[in-house]
Amino acid sequence: MSIDVASVRADTPGCEHVLHFNNAGASLPPAIVLERVKAHLDLEAEIGGYEAADRTADEYERVYAAIARMLGCAVEEIALVESATRAWDAAFYALAENFQPGDKILTAANEYVSNYIAFLQVARKRGAEIIAVPGDPGGDISLPALEAVIEQHGKRVKLIALTHVPTNGGLVQPAAGVGRIARAHRIPFLLDACQSAGQMPLDVEALGCDMLSATGRKYLRAPRGTGFLYVRQSLLRQLEPIPLDMRSAMWTARDQYEVRKDARRFETWESSVACRLGLGVAVEYAMAIGLDKIAARVAMLAETLREQLARISGVTVRDLPGNGSQPRCGIVTFTHEHHAAQTIFERMRDQGINARVTAVGFTRLDMEQRGLTEMVRASVHYYNTEEEIARCSQAIAAL
């Protein structure tokens, strides 16, 4: 059974106002998410913030359970945080605290800017070395090359970190294959699922990751300021987060503290309860539709957009093909030989079409390798339509 697109568009107030192809930035939330956030803010105004949190404590706990079901893990392995960056940083820096000079961090050439800056900081402070594993001809990280790098450096490899869906177009990295290699060599595997959560099914056992970070604002259609972190139980107690506070640890004596035993050791006390309740609603909404159905429709819409853009004179679709083992994602990138990406973005915006510009500083290794400085990024979601794709393509052709 397919998605009832008319119904989900009716559930999405923003569809009446814009053609939204910036879902890889922040998607349009369904009305039920908006209503839940607003209702809790109203409750805080009426009875007080702490009191409103007390009243909704059971529902708040169900947010953890919903995310755990979505990922196929235990509730104790989930932490709620403010963003995917906060989640990723919490895991990475807890691991990196023990890195020594000469230790290796393995990643891919299309790793995202925020993650790579963290690698650079740890390399500078700890003497670790970053190794960008070569890609295969389609742009995916090469699994044979990954094996070869691990064989070369042995136990000095302390982390494999991969962005599941890179920000600059099309690819879905072979994360499960990376996970199998990481497990075979007992190397911690940190997966950035910022763009894949909500766009496709995620099963941490099948993926083989030890840690997974994600945001709510992108394909999950949740409020901004929400994110979550998964940490495998076998790794959890080896990691002490930086920093700690009264949420992540208990002050047990004048000169002693005890860190929580579950993944909530990565949380901090203050948070937006309203937004996190909205995150829970968004996760349940996506699972009710079916993440497999969402993935299929998003892939179909993205391929339709690529095909239409490729027919426009002067336009080059820049998405890498991958190795063909799985469909490409909903992120579509392109350039125009006569117009700068920023100009196209502004022309689209003036016609009520949301897109974005992705620049070399976001995925420097990949874009420099391909000789690119900027691209237009148009990212579709399941509530978009073929008619919207046609309208977008016509607007670009009219340039």
Q: Which residues touch 373 (CB under 8 Å, ≥6 apart)?
A: 359, 360, 367
Structure tokens at 229: 């972190």
Task: Give the distance, in angstroms, between the CA of residue 360 and the centroid of all CA atoms in the same chain.
Answer: 19
Q: What b-and-e string marks burial along 163-195, b requiring 16 or more CB atoms within 10 Å of the CB?
A: bbbbbbbbbbbbbebbbbbbeebebbbbbbbbb
Q: Which residues touch 368 (CB under 8 Å, ≥6 apart)?
A: 360
Strand bridging mode 356-359 / 374-379: antiparallel
Of 359, 355, 358, which Cα lies nearest the Cα of 391?
A: 355
Per-10-residue mean pLDDT of the chain, 399 residues long, equals 94 97 98 98 98 98 98 98 96 95 96 96 96 94 97 97 93 96 98 98 98 98 98 94 93 95 96 98 98 97 97 96 86 96 96 96 93 96 98 95
Q: Map out the domains of the chain with their CATH numbers.
A: 5-29+290-397 (3.90.1150.10), 32-287 (3.40.640.10)
3-state secondary structure 215-276: ECCCCCCCCCCCEEEEECHHHHCCCCCCCCCCCCEEEEECCEEEECCCHHHHCCCCCCHHHH
- Looking at residue 324, what is its pLDDT? 77
116: amino acid identity, one letter: Y
